[in-house]
Structure 1
Amino acid sequence: MDYRLESQIWMQAQQSMPAQNFVEMIDEAFQSFKRFPGYAGIERMHASLIGSEGVAAIREAQNKAGFMKLGKV
C-alpha cells in the first residue's frame, strides 16, 4: 500500500493548526474509535510518515486517554 497520501494529510493537518489542537483532534479520534469483532489487519503508524510532531501528538493523546505508551522512536 502506498502511504504517501496519508503522510501528506498528517503533515498538512499538523501544519495547519496549533500543536495542542492537533493533539485534541487525535484524542477525539481515539475516543470515537470502535473496533468491530472479527479479523482486521494491523494498522501501523510509522514515524517516517507522520513526522516527529505526529508521534509526539499521538503519545500525548495516548497518555491523556490512558493507553499504553509507544516505544521510543
Structure 2
Amino acid sequence: MDYSLESTIWKEAQATFPGEAFTAVVKLAVSGYRRRPGYSGIERIYASDLGQTGLQALRYALRHVDHLPRGELPECVSVRAALRAHIYYFLESQVVRAGVASEMVIEDHLARALNL
C-alpha cells in the first residue's frame, strides 16, 4: 500500500470537516470497517502523518468501536493494515465528494476506481 498521499488526505479532510464534524467522519470510517478473514499486519500511524488533531480523532473513533489496543504510545496509534487502508480510502472519497480535493488526491482516487 502506498501511503504517500495519506498526510495530504488527512489535512484536506480536517480542513473540509472542521471540529466535531471531522471526528464524526473518522468515526464513521472506523465503524464502517468490516474485517475480512486472514492476516493483516499491524502498522503504526504517527502524529507526523495525521497531525495531532487527526491522531486524537482516530484514537476517539477506535475507542468507540473497540479497535484500540491497550498500552498505546502517545505519539502513535497501532492499527491493522487493512483498517488503515479502509480509513485512507474513506477519507479520500469524502474529500473528493466534497469537491475540495487536490489534483493529486483526485488522480489517486480515479486510479483506484479504474483499478490502475
Are 2:23 and 1:23 aligned? yes
Q: Following the alignment from structure 1 to structure 2, what is the Cα–Cα distance between the partners of residues 19 and 65?
A: 20
Q: Which runs of 5+ in 1 are unaligned?
A: none
TM-score by length of 2: 0.52
Bigger Rg over Cα: 2
What's the offset of the Cα at 1:38?
A: 0.8
Distance 1:35 1:43, change over 3 A: farther
Percent of matched pairs sharing the same residue:
38
Match of 2:73 in 1: 71
Query: Larger RCO: Structure 1 or Structure 2 (Cα < 8 Å, ≥ 6 residues apart)?
Result: 1
RMSD between aligned residues: 2.1
TM-score by length of 1: 0.77
Do the aligned residues in 2 keep the contact of 1:7 with 1:49 (CA within 8 Å)? yes
Match of 1:45 in 2: 45
Q: Deviations over 1:30-65 (max 9, x none)?
A: 111011111223343221111111011112223333
Amino acid at match of 2:73: G
Q: Following the alignment from structure 2 to structure 1, what is the Cα–Cα distance between the partners of residues 27 and 2?
A: 25
What's the offset of the Cα at 1:14?
A: 0.6
Q: Following the alignment from structure 2 to structure 1, what is the Cα–Cα distance between the partners of residues 62 and 41?
A: 21
Q: Which runs of 5+ in 2 are unaligned?
A: 76-116
Amino acid at match of 1:46: Y
Q: Following the alignment from structure 1 to structure 2, what is the Cα–Cα distance between the partners of residues 67 and 36?
A: 14
